[in-house]
């Protein structure tokens, strides 16, 4: 006979499988001495333009590469390839986010130890990527001035998983009457203490400060890893 169902305690993290792969990746990146930076934002916030600038500016001094996630098309990879660094596209099909295993698979055949920086551009989405660790060391959340100052309040979760906020398209700030103080205040409301940078990929404003941050973040983490 079948009695009533029994309640059995089963303690498991639902994304255990992803977290295991992400942890392995992070360890592999640390051992290889490559600094891995991921980018999340809504579609159209300027991730690819920002990344293209970053890759172009880093290339003379560092060994850099990028993975770029998208639902369809390889347009972003083609754009990033103009920076003349190795780029691979991860086409997710209908999946709205990258998972750790996709990053692992996309890296196949690449010796990450030959890199100083690896950038991973997530699918344009401010919701889904927040649940998935992809093994990165530093996660950027990008917010463009054309999106409005209240984005952080609408998507607090993604701001909570990121380490640094970057406000993009600053060259348009005046035209769209972007209120920088309000944007800053909203970021600090949902993620107190989060560093914020302002850039324009078009005219290069703020890129120097960003690259400086990146270099010192890498140095600091390497020091920490070796101590």
Taking CA atoms, 19 is separated from 2, 26, 122, 170, in Å, by 37, 10, 17, 35
Beta carbon nearer to another protein, 56 or 92: 92
Single out the segment in contact with another protein by CB under 8 A; choices: 4-12, 20-28, 58-66, 70-78: 4-12
Q: Which member of 109, 193, 224, 227 binds another protein (CB under 8 A)? A: 193
Which span (46-54, 78-86, 123-131, 137-145) binds another protein, by CB under 8 A? Answer: 123-131
Interaction between residue 181 and another protein (CB under 8 A) = no
Judged by CB under 8 A, the residue of 78, 113, 153, 205 near another protein is 153
Give CA separation, 154 vs 37, 78, 159, 182, 204, in Å. 24, 32, 10, 14, 28
C-alpha 165/C-alpha 193 separation (Å) is 11
Query: Per CB under 8 A, which of residues 39..98 are in contact with another protein?
Result: 95-97
Query: Considering the complex, what minimum distance in angstroms separates the CB of residue 34 from another protein?
Result: 27
Which residue, among 178, 121, 167, has the nearest Cα to 142 in the 3D structure? Answer: 167
Q: How far is the CB of 172 from another protein (least distance, A)?
A: 26
Q: Considering the rule CB under 8 A, would residue 6 count as an interface residue with another protein?
A: yes
CA nearest to 40, candidates 141, 114, 120, 133: 141
- Quick one: which of 88, 30, 29 has its CA closest to 55? 88
Binding mask of the shown chain, residues 7 to 46, with x at each position contacting another protein by CB under 8 A: xxxxxxxxxxxx----------------------------
Determine which residue in the list 60, 93, 109, 192 makes contact with another protein, applying CB under 8 A: 192
CA distance 179 to 193: 19
DSSP three-state, residue 149: coil
- Quick check: 156 binds another protein (CB under 8 A)? yes
Q: At what angle do helices 207-226 and 47-58 cross, to 10 degrees?
A: 70
Residues 159-178 that bind another protein (CB under 8 A): 160-161
- Footprint on this chain of another protein (rule: CB under 8 A): 1-18, 95-97, 99, 127-128, 130-132, 153, 156-158, 160-161, 188-193
């Amino acid at each position: 006979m079948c009695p009533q169902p029994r309640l059995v305690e089963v303690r498991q993290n639902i994304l255990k499988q992803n977290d295991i792969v992400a942890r392995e990746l992070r360890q592999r990146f640390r051992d290889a001495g490559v600094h891995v930076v991921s980018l999340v934002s809504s579609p159209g916030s300027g991730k690819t333009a920002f990344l293209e600038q970053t890759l172009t500016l880093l290339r003379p001094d560092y060994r850099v590469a990028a993975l770029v996630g998208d639902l369809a098309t390889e347009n972003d990879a083609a754009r990033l390839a103009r920076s003349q660094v190795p780029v691979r596209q991860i086409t997710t099909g209908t999946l709205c986010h990258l998972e750790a295993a996709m990053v692992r698979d996309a890296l196949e055949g690449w010796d990450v130890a030959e890199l100083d920086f690896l950038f991973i551009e997530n699918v344009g989405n401010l919701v889904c990527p927040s649940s998935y660790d992809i093994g990165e060391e530093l996660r950027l959340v990008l917010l463009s001035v054309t999106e409005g100052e209240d984005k952080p309040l609408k998507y607090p979760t993604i701001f909570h998983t990121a380490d640094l906020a970057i406000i993009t398209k600053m060259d348009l700030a005046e035209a769209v009457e972007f209120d920088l103080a309000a944007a800053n205040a909203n970021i600090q409301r949902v993620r107190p203490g989060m560093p914020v940078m302002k850039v324009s990929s078009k005219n290069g404003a703020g890129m120097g400060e960003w690259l400086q941050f990146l270099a010192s973040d890498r140095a600091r983490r390497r020091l920490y890893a070796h101590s």
